[in-house]
Structure 1
Amino acid sequence: MRRNTTLLVTAALAALVSFTACSVPDGGATGSTAPAPAGSAGAAPAGSAGGEPGSKVVGIVTISATDANNARVIAGATEAAKAAGWTVEVVDAAGNADQANTAIRNFVNKKAGMIFDLVFPTTSLGSGLNAAKAANIPVATWGGGTGTGVVVTTGNGAPFAEPATQAMIDAMGGKGSVLALTYRTGQVCRDREGLFDTMMKEKAAGVTVTKNEVNIPGFLQDGARYATAWLSGHPAGGEPLAVWGCWEDPTLGAISALKQQGRTDVLTYGINGSATAIKAVQDGSLTATVYEDGKAEGGTMFSTVQKAISTGDMTPQTIDVPGILVTKDTVKAFVAEHPEALS
Structure 2
Amino acid sequence: MKIGLKCRLALVFGLIALLGTSAWAGGGSQAEKSDKITLGMVSIDVNDSGNARAINGATARAKELGWDVITIDAHGNADEANSAIQNLALRGTQIIIDLVFPVTSLGSGLRAAEQSGAVVGTWGGGLGSTVAVTNGSGGLLAEPIVAQMVKDLGGKGSILALTYHTGQVARERELVLDSVLKDYPDIKVTKNEVRIPGYLQDGAEFASAWLAAHPRGSEPLAIWGSWDDPALGAIASMKQQGRDDVKVYGQNGNIDAIVAVESGWMTATAWEASEEEGKVLVDTLKQALEAGKSWTPKAAEVPAVVVSTQNVADFIRQHPEAAGR
Residue 64 of structure 1 aligns with which residue? 45
The equivalent residue for 2:69 is 88
**Would you say how many aligned residue pairs link Structure 1 and Structure 2?**
291
Taking structure 1 as reference, are residues 115 and 318 closer, same or farther at Cα in structure 2, changes over 3 Å only?
Answer: farther
* Aligned residue number for residue 270 of structure 1: 250
Partners of 2:260 and 2:170 in 1: how far apart?
21
Partner SS state of residue 88, structure 1: strand
3-state SS of paired residue (2:242): coil
Matched, 1:206 2:198: no
Q: C-alpha offsets along residues 56-110 of structure 1, whole Å, 9 cap, x if unaligned?
A: 1100000000100100000000110011111211000010000000000111011
CA-to-partner distance for each residue in 1:97-150, whole Å, 9 max, x for gaps? 000000001110111120000000000000111111122111110110000321
- Alignment map for 1:295-306 (pairs within 5 Å): 295-306=275-286
The structure 1 residue matched to 2:150, chosen from 165, 169, 177, is 169
Unaligned runs of 5+ in 1: 1-51
Amino acid at match of 2:321: E
Distance 1:61 1:265, change over 3 A: same
Q: CA contact under 8 A between 1:145 and 1:156: conserved in structure 2?
A: no
SS of the residue corresponding to residue 90 of structure 1 reads strand
Q: Which residue of 1 aligns with 2:211?
A: 231
Q: Distance in 2 between matches of 1:279 and 1:193?
A: 24
- Higher RCO (CA 8 Å, separation ≥ 6 residues): 2
d(CA) in 2 for partners of 1:317, 1:199: 29
Task: Give the Cα separation in 2 of the matches to 1:298 and 1:319.
Answer: 13
Per-residue CA shift, 1:23-46, capped at 9, x if unaligned?
xxxxxxxxxxxxxxxxxxxxxxxx
3-state SS of 2:75 partner? coil
Supply the distance in 1 between the matched residues of 2:319 and 2:128 (Cα, whole angstroms).
33
Q: Which of structure 1's runs of 4+ aligned residues deviate more than 6 A?
A: none
Q: Which amino acid aligns with 1:307?
A: Q
Q: 3-state DSSP class of the match of 1:329?
A: coil
Match of 1:243 among 223, 230, 245: 223
Secondary structure of 2:96's partner?
Answer: strand
Deviation at 1:158, TM superposition (A): 0.7
Displacement of 1:53 in angstroms is 5.8
- What is aligned with 1:6? none
CA distance in 2, matches of 1:185, 1:316: 27
State the secondary structure of the residue aligned to 1:322. strand
* 1:27 matched residue in structure 2: none
Which letter maps to 2:260?
A
Partner of 1:292: 272
1:169 maps to amino acid:
V
Moved more, 308-317 or 211-220: 308-317
The change in CA–CA distance for 1:317 and 1:153 in structure 2 (over 3 A counts) is farther
Residue 256 (1) aligns with residue 236 (2): yes
- What are the Cα deviations for residues 221-250 of structure 1, in whole angstroms up to 9, with x where unaligned? 100100111111100012000000000100
Q: Write the distance in 2 (CA, Å) between the matches of 1:174 and 1:288.
A: 17
Residues 54 and 64 of structure 1: CA distance in aligned 2, closer, same or farther (over 3 Å):
farther
Where do residues 1-343 of structure 1 align in structure 2 (5 Å cutoff)? 55-154=36-135, 157-202=138-183, 204-312=184-292, 313-343=294-324
Quote the Cα distance in structure 2 between the aligned partners of 1:70 and 1:131.
24
1:342 Cα deviation (Å)? 2.0
Give TM-score, length-normalised by structure 2: 0.87
Tell me if structure 2 keeps the 8 A contact 1:97–1:120.
Answer: yes
Distance 1:226 1:189 in 2: 17
Output the CA distance in 1 between the equivalents of 2:35 and 2:295. 14
Assess if the C-alpha contact under 8 Å between 1:273 and 1:292 holds in 2. Answer: yes
| Contact 2:94/2:117 (<8 A) preserved | no
- Which AA in structure 1 matches 2:51? N
Deviation (angstroms), 1:205: 2.3
**Does the CA-based 8 Å contact 2:39-2:95 persist in structure 1?**
yes
Query: TM-score, normalized by length of structure 1?
Result: 0.82
Contact 2:162/2:226, CA 8 A, preserved across alignment: yes
Q: Residue 17 of structure 1 corresponds to which residue in structure 2?
A: none
Deviation at 1:164, TM superposition (A): 1.1
Root-mean-square deviation (Å): 1.4
